[in-house]
Amino acid sequence: MPIDLRSDTVTMPTEKMRDAMRNAEVGDDVYRDDPTINRLEQIAADLLGKEAALFVTSGTQGNQVAVLTYTQRGDEVILEENSHIYYYETGGLSTIAGVQAKTIKGVNGQIPLSEMRKAIRGNDIHFPRTSLICLENTHAFSGGRVLPLSYMEEVYQLSREFQLPIHLDGARLFNAATSLNVHPKEMAKYADSVQFCLSKGLSAPMGSLLVGTKEFIERARKWRKMLGGGTRQAGIIGAAGIVALEEMIDRLKEDHIHAKSLAEGLSQIDGIDIELDSVETNIIMMDIDRLGMDSREFIDQLKQFGILATSSGPYRIRFVTHRGITNDDVEKAVEAVKSITNSCI
């Protein structure tokens, strides 16, 4: 079996999850009759200190439902220029929600407050209406960087000044909370709605939760149905999500330890550039522009050693640690990179 460092989405459900799925009590969730989904949503809402939650099939669906719930066609949404909602969701902001993206260059996923303030539109007939601020924590493109609580609070205070809602793309929210050693509620309180994934480091086979006020979730439920997210006996999947939330959050610290160990090993290899301080969670970004090959070539060579990784730019490679990665896997990955670089230098 290859050592799969492409993403934490490759995690497999645990045996307890499989047992829970097989034995799940189910009903029709569109009629709100699925007791397992109802329980999952209540657990999620309580965990993040919100009034209600909605099960969605994916993080992308959850983010798009949130945008649809907050905005009207022709509005403008403020986002960091490499945020997942803008960069990796196939143009859903424009094609589905019909809104315009106001992207701002951030630092480690953080939009400068001064730039955010300037981006908020005034009341002018020529301008679209600014209707939403979107944050992402952890920020995937920057290498799983964590938005500090102090920054989130500052953005929240700015949003209250202009009466704008904040949606938090928290696909890896629990990684962020683990890194900061805080309860997830401490992060969620600075956002009006939060989306988080069950299917990444938490190891459930699929699904995400969207949380917010009861009124927001009621409106979101209708948008979910329009996007094809109204499911029937979804409790079969929801049962794995319950196990994920009850048993898989605390172990995320192991993934962070493995990521730091991998980054430290790679940083000692000639021709490899890694900012060790940037490895805050389970994602490592490795630059290879000094090696004379691009990321696609490097990834192809890694495959010969049984290592799978992804490209995050012409000369940038991403590794992601997860429950399936061991100390031995980390050592093998470092040795494989070392072998490839030795042939280049």
pLDDT, tens digit, 9 for 90 and up, residues 58-99: 999 999 999 999 999 999 999 999 999 999 999 999 999 999
Signed CA dihedral, 204, 207, 212, 218: sign only:
negative
Q: List phi, psi (to 5°) of 9.
A: -70, -15
> What is the separation, in whole angstroms, between the first and last Cα of the chain?
29
Distance CA 194, CA 169 (A): 6
Residue (of 131, 190, 188, 184) closest to 156 by Cα position: 190
> Is 345 a residue whose pLDDT tops 80?
no
Q: What percent of the chain has pLDDT over 70?
A: 100
Q: What is the SS3 assignment for 285? A: strand
Predicted TM-score (pTM) of the model is 0.97
pLDDT band at 252 (very low <50, low <70, confident <90, very high): very high
- Rounded alpha-carbon distances, angstroms, from residue 186 to 30, 48, 229, 253, 324: 31, 8, 29, 18, 29
Q: What percent of the chain has pLDDT over 90?
A: 98
Q: What is the rounded average pLDDT of the residues 150-178?
A: 98
What residues have CB less than 8 Å from 194, skipping those under 6 apart? Answer: 48, 50, 167, 168, 170, 173, 187, 188, 210, 211, 212
pLDDT in tens, 266-308: 999 999 999 999 999 999 999 999 998 999 999 999 999 999 9
Q: Mean pLDDT in the chain?
A: 97
Domains detected in the chain: 13-247 (3.40.640.10), 251-342 (3.90.1150.10)
Distance CA 10, CA 273 (A): 26
Neighbours of 33 (CB within 10 A): 14
Question: Which pLDDT does position 342 carry in this prediction?
Answer: 86
Contact 21, 239 (CB under 8 A): yes
Burial (CB < 10 A; 0-12, 13-18, 19+), residue 210, is buried
pLDDT in tens, 209-242: 999 999 999 999 999 999 999 999 999 999 999 9
